């Protein structure tokens, strides 16, 4: 294993300390592994989080117009309720807090437990669950569909609505609208290596890829031979478009890398995705290409579409300033 680390057991703490030092607007809470905005605004607070190893998610989206706090678990492990409670406290300014949760059993259990505890302290908390992965209806890691890269769009929409001064019910409604209109599908070309394990979690052959693999290495729907960019775009989009009717609509597109895929390849994939969308009379309003929700050093990608109406377009275009995403 070749990694730029000190010790496998300290990677989460040290990455968050390093992030806070690089971005002076952020604050790190020692031992509870929370990154939050140093300056609170009088508005609804937005909190998300999950296992580490998906950087820049989730701490990279803390800042004006997106999250107010992000809670980190150990690598690929849900954060504990005490960490989540601290995230809620850091985000709370008296207007209530929305939790954006990815659809994994551990995340749902711990975030909901923290929600209950916060409400006992008279903090009003609501939650939404992102389940954008169309690869499989159920998995051993989640109840129903997994939450993957589409979560970033939910952060953006909820954060913009909160920044505009909406109340907690309105912020939750905007997040739920985004969730209803988001679908994603991914593929992997090799495994990732967990620092504490020191070897890949699974093995793909030299000429093999796995379609529909999750961001923690969960099983996909098909193991097949390496495809061209055009074939990959067709496979991923066919699943997305079969699941939700985007025809005749405007969409935001997210071409997401899983950590080890060069931008060259992601842009080539985007070219093929947009060709297909044009052929199907789906208008691309805005495109994001890069590493937004990764899986350590896994090589692969995912494609996300979000169907837009005027409200979602306005919120997508609203200013934000975070380490991983800026709209100015």
174 within 8 A of 166, measured Cβ to Cβ: yes
Calpha distance 200→193 (Å, rounded): 4
Calpha distance 150→130 (Å, rounded): 8
259 within 8 A of 292, measured Cβ to Cβ: no
Q: Is the peptide bond before 56 cis (omega within 30 degrees of 0)?
A: yes
- Inter-CA distances, 249 with 29, 221, 238, 292, Å: 43, 28, 16, 24
Q: Exposed, middle or buried by CB within 10 Å (0-12, 13-18, 19+), for 313?
A: middle
Residues whose CB falls within 8 Å of the CB of residue 289, separated by 6 or more in sequence, listed in order: 255, 263, 266, 267, 270
Catalogue all structural domains in the chain, each as residue range(s) with its CATH number: 11-180 (3.40.50.10440), 182-317 (3.30.1180.20)
Residues acting as catalytic residues: 54, 216
- What pLDDT shows up at residue 199? 77
- What pLDDT shows up at residue 193? 86
pTM as predicted: 0.96
- What pLDDT shows up at residue 217? 82
Burial 21-55 (b: 16+ CB within 10 A, else e): eebeebbbbeebbbbbbeeeeebbbbbbbbbbbbb
Per-residue pLDDT of the chain (328 residues; tens, 9 = 90+): 789 999 999 999 999 999 999 999 999 999 999 999 999 999 999 999 999 999 999 999 999 999 999 999 999 999 999 999 999 999 999 999 999 999 999 999 999 999 999 999 999 999 999 999 999 775 555 578 999 999 999 999 999 999 999 999 999 999 999 999 999 999 999 988 888 888 777 788 889 999 998 898 887 888 999 999 999 999 999 999 999 999 999 999 999 999 999 999 999 999 999 999 999 999 999 999 999 999 999 999 999 999 999 999 999 999 999 999 999 8
Calpha distance 104→11 (Å, rounded): 22
- What pLDDT shows up at residue 139? 55
């Amino acid at each position: 294993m070749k990694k730029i680390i000190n010790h496998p057991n300290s990677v989460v703490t040290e990455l968050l300390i390093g992030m806070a030092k690089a971005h002076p607007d952020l604050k790190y809470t020692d031992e509870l592994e929370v990154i939050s905005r140093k300056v609170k605004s009088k508005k609804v607070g937005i909190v998300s989080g999950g296992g580490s190893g998906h950087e820049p998610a989730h701490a990279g989206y803390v800042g004006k117009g997106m999250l107010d706090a992000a809670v980190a678990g150990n690598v690929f492990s849900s954060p504990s309720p005490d960490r989540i409670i601290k995230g809620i406290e850091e985000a709370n300014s008296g207007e209530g807090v929305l939790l954006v949760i990815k659809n994994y059993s551990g995340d749902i259990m711990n975030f909901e437990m923290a929600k209950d505890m916060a409400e006992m302290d008279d903090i009003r908390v609501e939650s939404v669950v992102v389940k954008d992965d169309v690869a499989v209806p159920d998995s051993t890691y989640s109840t129903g569909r997994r939450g993957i890269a589409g979560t970033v769009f939910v952060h953006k929409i909820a954060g913009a609505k909160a920044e505009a001064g909406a109340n907690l019910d309105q912020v939750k409604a905007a997040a739920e609208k985004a969730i209803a209109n988001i679908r994603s599908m991914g593929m992997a070309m090799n495994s990732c290596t967990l620092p504490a394990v020191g070897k890949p979690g699974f093995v793909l052959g030299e000429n093999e890829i796995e379609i529909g693999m999750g961001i923690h290495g969960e099983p996909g729907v098909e193991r097949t031979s390496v495809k061209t960019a055009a074939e990959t775009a067709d496979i991923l989009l066919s699943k997305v478009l079969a699941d939700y009717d985007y025809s005749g609509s405007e969409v935001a597109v997210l071409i997401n890398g899983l950590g080890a895929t060069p931008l060259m390849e992601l842009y080539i994939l985007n070219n093929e995705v947009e060709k297909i969308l044009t052929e199907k009379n789906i208008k691309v309003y805005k495109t994001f290409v890069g590493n937004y929700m990764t899986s350590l050093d896994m090589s692969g990608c995912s494609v996300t579409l979000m169907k837009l109406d005027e409200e979602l377009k306005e919120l997508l275009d609203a200013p934000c300033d975070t380490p991983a995403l800026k709209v100015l």
